[in-house]
Every structure is written in structure tokens, then in C-alpha cells.
Structure 1
Amino acid sequence: MQQRKFDEIVKSQYPNAKDAKDVSIHYLGKMQLEHNIDISKVLMATSVCSDDINIPSTTFFNVLFGPFVMGGLGGIPYVGQTGMTAFAHHIPDEGSAFIFYGPHIGITLEGELGKMYRPRMEQKGNSCGALMLALSRLKEDGYTPVMNDDDYQQMKLEESLLPYREDILNSDNPQRAITDATYKIIDEKIHKHLKTCKDEFPVDKVTLLGGVIINTGHGMDDYFDARNFEVIDLKTL
């Protein structure tokens, strides 16, 4: 019953979202049946947030090799070109590459975005914590992130979001807006690094699946709002 209620709440905010485990099965099937990819030889890379809540979201982690972790706070691929090159060099012989990416956002049964009840915690908390922190700071007049080694990822995340600041703060739902903006940033960086490092890959094609992970409650399945699925021919990049 509670899962059904979550389904209604999630669909009210993300009409195209589906159960994350079903999404995994669907796209693994597409890779096999439509693109003749041998799933047993696929190395997965992720560019999702460091948050522990994202690990059980999909079944990709149980089926594919890896993951090679590209993402940090917010899901930004902080590993850059060096990380993309390292990932390329780790692909199994005669194998394939798959990159799963995007930010995450929590939702409660009351429909509150940016919040969730975590396992073994009675009080609800932020999800994504890094994005909700960035949102609170972007609301401060004149705030500008200052890059420093002690909090590099959070400052870089906020710096990346500055061009979207006005749109985020003027939106009907800033929590959803900052998540959508972060998806655009991650998507752009993944494609950019892939194009720059394409000659490092021992394969011709790389599969991408990008979207927004929607965290629900403890014991409930998460959802995934797929935004991009493509099998890229590196020879044409």
C-alpha cells in the first residue's frame, strides 16, 4: 500500500519516472536485444552522488562489473579526463562500457521534495544533501563559492550551478530545479570527457543512461526518471 502511495506521489512530480529496478531490467534488455551487447562483459562507470542511499537504487550494481566511480557530491564527474581514460583502460577484453549518471532527490509521502526518511533514522533529512546545501547558499544575496582544498567538491558543485542560479530561485520548485540543473551539468561533462578521451577506448561503442534518481523511504523501491539513453559510436564523435 505504501509503495502504491509513493508511486502516486512520485508520478505527480516526475510523470515519466519508473521503479528503478524495473528501469535496470528494461535497459539491460535493450542493451542485449537491440544492441547485441554481451552483458557478462560490461564494465559500468557511475557518475552519481557519493550518498550511500544511492547504492541499492538499481540492479545494475548486482549485474555489471564495477562500478568505476566517477561521481562525487551531487554526482558531478570530478575524476575528469584522467578518470574517463582510466575507465576506458579497464574495460574487459572484447567487452563493453556503460555509464550510469545523474543527480538524486528525495521525496516523502507528503510530497516534499529534497527530503527523505533514511534507514534507522526517525527524523527526515536532505536528499541530495549537497544540493540542498547549495540551494540554501544560493538563496543568500551576493553569495559566491570560494574554492578551497578542504571542501573542494561542494564548492565546485556550487560554482557549476551559478549560471543556473536565477532560474533555480525563480522556479515553482527550487529543489526540483536545482536537481534538473545538476543533471544538465553532469550530462554535459560526461559527453565532453567521452569525446576528449574517445581514442583511449578499446571499443567502438559506449552506452549511456542518464536521469534523476528519486529516493523514497526505507524499505521502498527508489524511482528513476530516465532522461537519456544512447549507444554512442565513438568513431563518429
Structure 2
Amino acid sequence: MLQRKFDEIVKQAYPNSMDAKDTSIHYLGKMQLEHKIDISKVLMATSVCSDDINVPSTTFFNVLFGPFIMGGLGGIPFVGQTGMTAFAHHIPDNGSAFIFYGPHIGITLDGDLGKMYRPRQEETGNSCGALMLALSRLKEDDYQPILNEDDYQQMKLEESLLPFREDILQSDNQEKAITEATYEIIDKKIHEYLKTCKDEFPVDRVTLLGGVIINTDYGLDDYFDVRNFEVVDLKSL
């Protein structure tokens, strides 16, 4: 009953989203049936937020090798070109590569975005915490992140979001808007690194699945709003 209620709430904010586990099954099937990919030899990489709440979101983790972790705070692929190259070098012989990426956002039964009930906590907490912190700072007049080695990822995340600042703050739902902006940043970087490092891959194709993870209550299935599914021909890049 609670899962059904969450389904209604999630679909109001993300009408095209699917149960995250169903998403996994659906796209694993497409990889096998439509693209003839042997999923028993697929190495998975993720560029999702390092938040622990995202680990059980999909069943990809139970089926594919890996994951190779590309994402840091917010899901930004902080591993850069070196990380993409390392991932390429780890692909099984005669295997394939799959990259699952995107930001995440919590939702409550009241429909509040950017919040969720975490395991064994009685009060709601932020999700994504890094993005909600960035949002609070972007609201400050003339705020500029200052890069430093002690908080590099958060500062770099906020710096990346500065070009989207006006659109985010003018949005009717700032929590959703900052999540959308972060997806654009991640998607762009994944494609850039893939193009730059294409010659490092021992395979001709890399499968990408990008979107937004929607966190619900502890013990319930999360959702995934797909924005991009493609099997990239590296020779065409």
C-alpha cells in the first residue's frame, strides 16, 4: 500500500519515471535482445552520488561486474579522464562496458522534493545533501565557491552549477531545478571523457544509461527517471 502511494507521489513530479529495479530489468533486456550484448561480460561504471542511499537503488549491481566508481558528491565524475581510462582498461576480454549515471533526489509522501527519511532516522534529511547545500549557498547574494583541497568536491560541484544559478533560483521548484542542472553537467562530462578516451577502450561500443534517481522511504523501492539510453559507437566519436 505504501509503495503504491509513493508511486502516485513520484509520478506527479516525474511522470515518466519507473521503479528502479524494473528499470534495471528493462534495460538489461534491451542490451541483450536489441543490441546483442553478453551481460555476463559487462563491466559497469557508475557516476552517481557517493551517498550510501544509492547503493541498493537498482539491480545492476547484482548482475554486472563492478561497479567502477566514477562519481563523487552530486554524481559528478570526479575521476576525470584518468578514471575513464582506468575503467576502459578493466573491461573483461571480449566483454563490454556500461555506464550508469545521474544525480539523485529524495521525495516524501507529502511530495516534498529534496527530502527523505533515511534508515533509522526519525526526521527527514536532505537528498541529495550536497545539492541541497549547494542550493542554500547559491541563494546567498554574490556567493562564489572557493576551491580548496579540504572540500574540493563540494566547491567544484558548486562552481559547476554557477552557470545555472539564475534558472535554478527562478524555478518554481528549486530542488528539482538544481537536480536537473546537475544531470546536464554529468551527462556532458561523461560524453566528453568518453570521446577523449575512446582509443583506450578495447571494445567498439559503450552503453550509457543516464537519468535521475528518486529516493523514497527506507525499505521501499527507489525510482529512476531515464533521460538517456544509448549504445555509443566509439568509432563514430
TM-score, normalised with respect to structure 1: 1.00
- Alpha-carbon distance between aligned partners in 2 of 1:212 and 1:222, rounded to the nearest angstrom: 11
Dislocated runs of 4+, deviation >6 Å: none
How far the C-alpha of 1:231 sits from its partner, in A, is 0.1
Within-5 A mapping of 1:150-229: 150-229=150-229
State yes or no: 1:48 paired with 2:48.
Answer: yes
How far the C-alpha of 1:236 sits from its partner, in A, is 0.3
Q: Deviations over 1:65-118 (max 9, x none)?
A: 000000000000000000000000000000000000000000000000000000
The one-letter code matched in structure 2 to 1:141 is: D
Within-5 A mapping of 1:1-20: 1-20=1-20
The one-letter code matched in structure 1 to 2:198 is: K
What is the RMSD of the two structures over their aligned residues, measured on CA atoms? 0.3
- Alpha-carbon distance between aligned partners in 2 of 1:212 and 1:73, rounded to the nearest angstrom: 14
- Alpha-carbon distance between aligned partners in 2 of 1:174 and 1:123, rounded to the nearest angstrom: 21
Q: Deviations over 1:180-224 (max 9, x none)?
A: 000000000000000000000000000000000000001110000
How far the C-alpha of 1:42 sits from its partner, in A, is 0.1
Residue equivalent to 1:74: 74
> Percent of aligned positions with the same letter in both sequences?
84
Within-5 A mapping of 1:86-165: 86-165=86-165
The one-letter code matched in structure 2 to 1:74 is: G
Matched residue count: 237
Residue equivalent to 2:233: 233
The one-letter code matched in structure 2 to 1:222 is: D
Q: Deviations over 1:29-62 (max 9, x none)?
A: 0000000000000000000000000000000000
Residue equivalent to 2:38: 38
How far the C-alpha of 1:130 sits from its partner, in A, is 0.1
Gaps of 5+ in 2: none
How far the C-alpha of 1:19 sits from its partner, in A, is 0.1
How far the C-alpha of 1:23 sits from its partner, in A, is 0.1
SS in 2 for 1:185: helix
SS in 1 for 2:151: helix
Residue equivalent to 2:64: 64
SS in 2 for 1:149: coil
The one-letter code matched in structure 2 to 1:28 is: L
SS in 1 for 2:5: helix
- Alpha-carbon distance between aligned partners in 1 of 2:84 and 2:56, rounded to the nearest angstrom: 24
Gaps of 5+ in 1: none
The one-letter code matched in structure 2 to 1:235 is: K
- Alpha-carbon distance between aligned partners in 2 of 1:19 and 1:103, rounded to the nearest angstrom: 16
How far the C-alpha of 1:144 sits from its partner, in A, is 0.3
